[in-house]
Amino acid sequence: MSERATTRTVSLNIDREKQYRKIVGFGGSFTGAVSYLLEKLPQALQDHLYKSYYADDGLAFNLMRMSIGGCDFDLAPWAYNEEPVNDVNLSNFTKLDPRDQTKAEQIKRLRNVAKPKNLRIKGAAWSAPRWMKTNDRWTGFGRLKKEYYQTWANYHLKWLEIMEENGLPIWAISTGNEPMNGMFFMYFVRFMSMGWHPLSQAAWLSDNLGPTIRNSKYKDLIILGNDDQRYTFPTWFKMMKLSRPDALNYLDGFAVHWYWDEIFKPSFIDKTLELYPEKMLLMTESCIGDKPWQKAGPVLGSWYRGEKIARAFLQNLQHGYNGWIDWNLILDETGGPNYVDNTVDAPVILDTSNPNEILKQPMFYTMGHFSKFIPEGSVRIDAIRSNVNIDSVAYLRPDGSIAAVLFNSGNAMVEINIVDSVRGSAIIILPPRSFHTIIYH
């Protein structure tokens, strides 16, 4: 067959006048596992990793997620003020834990060598100290005891204060990581978790966390709700509002995790934004290798996984997300380390037998098509395709230029007639199975 016969055609109409939601940024997570692996690298390679992600000539990330205390990607579960128990004054929460001190020094080094324009750090707690919980355990069916609601709010405030004292002001926190894990999934989840019901979380937010933060020097801190899978949307927030009408007033936005997006479609998000169009919407955790039918760990050089991430970014940005924070910045060759062998893949892999090199996965380069070319402040605009031969998203950038990310997932070349509402039209050819980002004025 001739090349022409195997080339498909599509029109892509870009309308700058039809504008939607604004980008806050893109980033990754600085977990205990990440910090541990960084310590194994020579300083020059650490700096290279920092710049690869956060420098302008790297992926230009500007967002970062940290745990408040421990998370599942640590070497052991932990929290601040584990002792003394029943200590409502948090008398032992006066300085950074040595693990966080190491992270703080690493992040400050990242900031100095990569020079991100506007590094924004988001914190989230996986669990309170065990003595604050109904089951006195790190995991399982455990909730926060009501007598410690204010103590738990104060715990968050102390963390903000101590991080700032150590040179890392915090941009945002959430109401807690994956609250469903400690309520309904305790038989499957073996790592740190603490359960919330939307009604109890609404009470804590309305009576404790919200007033504590808004009446402090951190009154402008971003507070994000839920930090869990999209299948909880918008029911979680409707129940919160029904229980405590003022609870959602304390939330600047919603945090979503990616893991079940293939099963639960974006209509859950569409309905949420119809109800609460003023709220920010951030993807705050994503990785591949978490499902029983996937390899639980890295698949080196997997463009299948790279394409999977591309489809996820495109779908979620098309449905109103303001940004994306991926999970671990780097993992080892097993997809760890962590204390429950909860291994997954990551955009960068370290073979611990050779700490002088790191391996950048296709997922790393896929994310760069978005993060590098769609900076903070970009506004999504209409990019309407005439058929399904490509997938795309387009943004009006702060400098007035247009960035369009194009994905041809098929096995044939695609000829695209790009029609811009201001500049007219141009034809470009996309090879099979390829991503492209185009920039024009």
Catalytic residue annotation: 178, 285
Of 192, 62, 33, 61, nearest to 125 by C-alpha is 192
Distance, CA of 187 to CA of 324 (rounded, Å): 29
Written as one letter, the residue type at 331 is L
Total Cβ atoms within 10 A of residue 111:
16
* Dihedral angle sign, alpha carbons of residues 341, 364, 100, 173: negative
Written as one letter, the residue type at 332 is D
Whether residue 358 contacts residue 40, with contact meaning beta carbons closer than 8 Å, is answered with: no
Distance, CA of 31 to CA of 391 (rounded, Å): 32
What lies within 8 Å, CB to CB, of 268 at 6+ separation is: 230, 231, 233, 234
Sheet hosting strand 379-385, strand order edge to edge: 424-430, 414-420, 8-22, 379-385, 391-396, 402-408, 434-440
Measured between its terminal Cα atoms, the distance across the chain in Å is: 37
Q: Can you read off the two tokens belonging to residue 173?
A: 């926190």
What lies within 8 Å, CB to CB, of 73 at 6+ separation is: 29, 31, 32, 33, 34, 327, 328, 336, 338, 342
Written as one letter, the residue type at 264 is F
Distance, CA of 421 to CA of 431 (rounded, Å): 26
Residue 225 phi, psi (nearest 5): -95, 150
Residue 62 phi, psi (nearest 5): -135, -5
The reply to whether omega before 337 is within 30° of 0 (cis) is yes
Whether residue 334 contacts residue 314, with contact meaning beta carbons closer than 8 Å, is answered with: no
Q: Can you read off the two tokens belonging to residue 341?
A: 């062998």
Q: In angstroms, what CA-CA distances link 397 with 317, 336, 393, 425?
A: 15, 37, 13, 19
| Buried-state track 327-363, b at ≥16 Cβ within 10 A, e below 16 | bbbbbbbebbbbbeebbbbbbbbbeeeeeeebbebbb
